[in-house]
A and B are shown apart, each in its own frame.
Chain A
Amino acid sequence: MHLAYPAVLAALLFCVGVYGVLARRNAILVLMSVELMLNAVNLNLVAFDVWLRDTLHAGQALTLFTIAVAAAEIGIGLAIVLMVHRNRGTADVDRLRDTAERPGSPDDGPDDGGAPGTPTDETPHGEKAEATA
């Protein structure tokens, strides 16, 4: 088999994942796109391991480690998304902009939250809850 087939498939899958991470709004859909990117890397590792016929099988061992790390990542990520959803009532990544820098007010911390949403009264509560959790 040509090495170009799995390499091109992995590159295309990675770019589909990049599009998903950048374009999706729901945090869980962003996590799905991250899984697609990790799988593209795994396909590359397996293909190059089979091509090089490594005696240590470093590619396949690293693929197993990547799968385990991805499982841990999805668990922690979903726990964080669920906690954010419980505290804020939303899981949309572009509505969680408490730490964003407003272009108008360079160093005004508290009074820039009045722009789009209503989290001015629940932001301290949310921060305190996250600190104690």
Chain B
Amino acid sequence: MILAAQAAAETPGFLSPSGVEIVFLLVGLVTLGAAVVTVTTRQLVHAALWLVVALGGLAVEYLLLTAEFIAWVQVLIYVGSVVVLLLFGLMLTKAPIGRSPDADSGNRPVALGVALAAAAALVWVVVDAFRTTWIDLDGAVQGSTEVTGATLFKHWVLPFEALSVLLLAALVGAIVLSRKKEQER
């Protein structure tokens, strides 16, 4: 109780945001808007391109949270390869270039209701729980490449190696799934 009162007294309010918070808020609005356009647009290729904006905005948010290495990994893996894979998938499934009227299925109102209810509940709970919690971004950088590499290869070596086996299995599985059958060759 006393700790909570002290913490509430020490943390700055929401009405006097710092510069980092203002930038975070603006980039967050851009990211959220791009995500909404991604799930609502009727042009399939445009959805993939707006996904680039959303994922790039998230990389900027990681940079603002001083997690540099995660930010560059996000740019490399998501913006670099996942979106390219999605564009190749759209191309190979003969997606229409223009507006396709049947991009959304019939259960759109139900989906909207579920999403709005989940958003209201989650935002209420999160704001109520972390209203006075303050992230101290000053001091040593939390996620520089040096720190991340040291912790990853000092404490997380076994999961790292298991992950490489998983990636190999996914590679083999993707090749096996996408290989043409014998009689079609």
Contact = CB atoms under 8 A, between A and B. Distances in A.
Interface of A: 1-9, 11-20, 22-26, 28-29, 31-33, 35-36, 39, 42-43, 46-47, 49-51, 53, 56-57, 60-61, 63-65, 67-76, 78-83, 85, 91-94, 129, 132-133
B25 A29 contact: no
B24 to A, nearest CB: 6
Given A2-B133, A35-B82, A80-B177, A26 B44 contact: yes
Interface residues of B, number: 91
Given A8-B123, A36-B54, A129-B181, A57 B148 contact: yes
B44 A43 contact: no
Provide the main secondary structure of the chain A interface.
helix
A68 B81 CA distance: 11
B67 A50 contact: yes
B185 interface: no
- Residue among B18, B28, B112, B131 with the highest chain A CB neighbour number at 10 A: B28
Given A35-B82, A50-B142, A132 B65 contact: no
Interface string B3-25: 00000000100100010110011
A19 B39 contact: yes
Contacts of A83: 177-178
A49 B143 CA distance: 9
B137 interface: yes
Interface string B117-148: 01100110011001101111100001100011
A13 to B, nearest CB: 6
A23 B123 contact: no
Nearest to A80: B177
